[in-house]
Chains A and B, each alone.
Chain A
């Protein structure tokens, strides 16, 4: 069995795992990150894209609120290319409890969150689509954060700094000697080969799967899974993040992201990381909530619904109907202290906005264990994107025109303006082709047609570089997953898109389901 050894092995290539690895790299620690599938395939990639101002937790969870507020300004400094500075508005509607807005404003001031009261006139001039029944409005510095961009940049920075990111490898077993984890046995999800990685410290950052990873070492962690459902709506009706100024509840945020806007989220306790199916009632609820903020919202075209699983820290294992009351703050469990198993710690809870802080605390712990004195510097070192060209529609459009320096390029995904050269660059830089990873890297297939045309085009391009059956398996499973995400929204124009895509795939192109190990 091939093996390698490192100082730190991080399990999970989400924001937390990559954040920890990045922090460790900067301190000169030798690090490997492994993930069972790909970057941003768990909770980080299934997120609404909100860079919190902190306001949301000001009343109920001041510590989280404070962390969000300070991380907000740090992230704006270190990863500006993944952030669209939309600003945010907190709106109390006439139907909302009248005294909450005051309590909220006071709480924000105490924590030090910038809140600026706005008149109805100001708000409507800025965002004319909003409802007129606003009783109070406040401006905060929320923003839209593209987690795919963030995670890809993190992974790129880690690799550049000497760290290793090993994808499609699932931890199968921990090798434990004298109550100390000394190595992990990994199985490749692609070809089922196994390998061993020895390390001094193992960090379980597997998010909603972290209970399963901990179980491999025979330890239990107090985690509750909470499902959050989101809907992406075609077009942006506002260019500002819109929050509802009321106690945190479902469907109270609308985030403009790329060419769409996302409403989220619900909060439903579920039993495991894979418990993702969405109920029609969740969709209806979110659309109705959107309607209260933006009249006509629910008649607009929804593009796609998806859900992510929050791994929440719940030591009491409360049996609740909602997990809304559980703190969003994060927890680091050193299994040497809790279970007598050394060399392993688990990190979970928290939120994407505070991923850097979580990573810092874990890396502090790792540095202490390894007796390394270097201090954290992730709050000042920028996270560089792989390509210095930011993914902004207008930038992409300019690149389409031939110029003295550029040969003619063609658009492969019209909705998101993804060019052929971007796909070719992806093919060159990756050892195997995966449409879903291409989507996360370039936004291909994320727009209104949900990859009806570009999935096939991209596969066609990949065929010129790879000689493999797997491309068709990948295509069928990708279009099936994209289609499933739209199939919950089977009415109006979405229904026509659903029927059209299916007819294109099955009747015009004759795509058949190819069975493979992956599907």
Chain B
């Protein structure tokens, strides 16, 4: 029996597990696969609409921010910054200002908090910079990047192609391949020897995000000192390091605070029918070799939306919640789930479980389905996270509320 069982190892699940463990709860985290962070940009988007700032009172009543409340959002962001600071992976940013981070193709990604190696690009706007590409690195598009960065107002003076020490690789290198190499200080010395002569006259250099996975900030700082110039990182397409770094930092923090982590096992919800109040009793954990029961006082569902397996769309148009089969609204015609164009607002973004202010999933009458079940993150209905640019902010704020409610 565990106090708190969290299902899902994405941003909201990991964050919730740390919050609960920090408050001395006995926490177990289970996840069927890799969480969503492995394909995330690794920044915290809170509200990226250029047209309006975040005002909770102007949001619809069922919007997750409005339900979780401003206080939960503020506390969550403070807690997040603390966790990252303690893990030596500091973030830069605030709730009141927007950061614009260059993407792999040179567009600008509007966000609230970014790891400092990415956020440093902000300082360079208006000053001359150079952009580096790495020979042999897959998914590095220097010409497209430079052209778009220039049209976005960056003063890109030149672009240079940097090579790597050693013989030519046998295959394309992924950013993760290089990240591991950069963690070795001897390799960094070799790099400095090779690159330094090429960098004369350059004050500030943007390079693909390859500077370490496990101690990223340390690698970033050390290579800046070795090269004697300012650097900022530009994320690559997946596998993209900023997301992986955040995942790795959260996993080790959760482990540090004693969270019992079980990966690679899917969960089937179990209902406790012995009492009058409807409760969940835990889950059946399905591992590749067997299945076993895991009992819990409280369960936080952080399984994500359609992409991460929390919601399953069926051909008949119905939408299923994957663990407890919670009630989900869905349109009569499955065609209504999607708007025609990729660039349109997509109705599917709005679907998920409806919750009350304690983050308890609700039935169609608006009553909590189970009194000891809570939810956080992408599975919660009511927000178009993509067009609002609110995805990670909602993850953190709802996780904060869910943990508070579960530990009440």
> Which residues from chain A sit less than 8 Å from chain B, CB to CB?
280, 284, 287, 298, 402, 408, 410-411, 453, 456-457, 459-461, 463-464, 467, 471-472, 476, 479-480, 483-484, 487-488, 490-492, 495-496, 498-513
Contact = CB atoms under 8 A, between A and B. Distances in A.
A503 B142 CA distance: 22
Given A280-B334, A502-B346, A508-B240, A463 B170 contact: no
Contacts of A408: 168, 170-171
B338 A500 contact: no
Contacts of B104: 456, 508-509
B348 interface: yes
A503 B314 contact: no
Given A463-B144, A483-B342, 4 more contacts: A459-B141, A460-B139, A499-B348, A506-B342
Interface of B: 39-41, 45, 103-105, 107-109, 138-144, 147-148, 168, 170-172, 235, 237-238, 240, 305-307, 309, 312-315, 333-335, 337-338, 340-343, 346, 348, 386, 391
Contact of A410 (B109, B138, B142): B138
Contacts of B143: 460, 463-464
A233 to B, nearest CB: 13
Contacts of B170: 402, 408
Contacts of B40: 508
Interface centre among B105, B109, B141, B340 (most CB of A within 10 A): B105
B305 A284 contact: no
A484 B313 contact: no
B386 A503 contact: yes
A117 B318 CA distance: 44
Contacts of A488: 335
A456 B240 CA distance: 15
21 contacts: A280-B334, A284-B315, A402-B170, A459-B141, A460-B141, A461-B141, A463-B143, A480-B341, A480-B343, A490-B338, A490-B348, A495-B348, A496-B309, A503-B386, A504-B237, A506-B343, A508-B104, A508-B235, A510-B109, A511-B107, A512-B107
A298 B315 contact: yes
Contact of A457 (B139, B147, B148, B333): B139
Interface centre among A480, A488, A496, A510 (most CB of B within 10 A): A510
Contact of A463 (B141, B172, B386): B141
What 6 A-B pairs have minimum CB-CB distances, sorted nearest first? A460-B141, A510-B107, A463-B143, A463-B144, A483-B342, A510-B103
Contacts of B391: 507
B343 A513 contact: yes
A492 B314 contact: yes
A403 to B, nearest CB: 12
B39 A490 contact: no
A492 B346 contact: no
A280 B348 CA distance: 17
A484 B312 contact: no
Contacts of B306: 495-496, 499
Given A453-B237, A499-B306, A499-B307, A490 B334 contact: yes
B334 A491 contact: yes
Contacts of A483: 341-342
Nearest to A283: B315
B307 A500 contact: yes
Nearest to A280: B335
Contacts of A471: 144
Contacts of B140: 460
B313 A491 contact: yes
A64 B172 CA distance: 51
A298 to B, nearest CB: 7
Nearest to B307: A499
B172 A487 contact: no
A316 B391 CA distance: 59
B312 A492 contact: yes
A511 to B, nearest CB: 7
A184 B405 CA distance: 75
A505 B148 CA distance: 15
A401 to B, nearest CB: 9
A461 B140 CA distance: 9
Contacts of B238: 504, 508
Nearest to A506: B386
Contacts of B342: 479-480, 483-484, 501-502, 505-506
Contacts of A505: 342
Nearest to A512: B107
B314 A502 contact: no
A505 B171 CA distance: 25
A484 B341 contact: yes
Contact of B305 (A490, A499, A512): A499
Nearest to B349: A499
A501 B39 CA distance: 11
A142 B114 CA distance: 58
Contact of A490 (B41, B109, B337): B337
A410 B171 contact: yes
A477 to B, nearest CB: 10
Contact of B338 (A402, A457, A492, A498): A498
Contacts of A498: 338
Contacts of B341: 480, 483-484
Contacts of B108: 510
A476 B107 CA distance: 13
Contacts of B105: 456, 460, 509-511
Contacts of A287: 315
